[in-house]
Amino acid sequence: MTVKLGPYHTSLPHLCRQLIGAGARGLVVSNRCHQPDLDVGAFEVVPNVCLSTSDDLRLPLRWVAILAGRIAASLALSGGMHMPSRR
């Protein structure tokens, strides 16, 4: 089992250890989850798709670096497709 994780948990390392204890063998650290807008006047969910950029990878890269070697599971990182940087 693989679990895709967002970066905003109270204690991501603790959650990872619990997931591994429950049978996860791989964890995917994701840069973000889609967050739709809410139109409270119309009581509707309004799609708000903002595609990720290469700059969004900093947070999941940080968590992979923190978790690497500290948990007994494979780690992967996801963050969309990007063009190469021309800096």
- Identify which has the larger pLDDT, 50 or 37: 37
DSSP 25-53: -EEEEES-----EEETTTTEEE-------
Residues 29-46: what's their mean pLDDT? 81
pLDDT tens digits, one per residue of 54-67 = 777 888 888 889 99
Position 30 scores a pLDDT of: 77
The residues spanned by each domain of the chain are 2-78
Q: What size, in residues, is the chain?
A: 87
pLDDT of residue 33 exceeding 70? no
pLDDT of residue 11 exceeding 80? yes
* Mean pLDDT, the chain, whole residue set: 81
The Cα 43–Cα 15 span in angstroms is: 34
Angle between helices 12-21 and 58-67 in degrees, nearest 10? 60
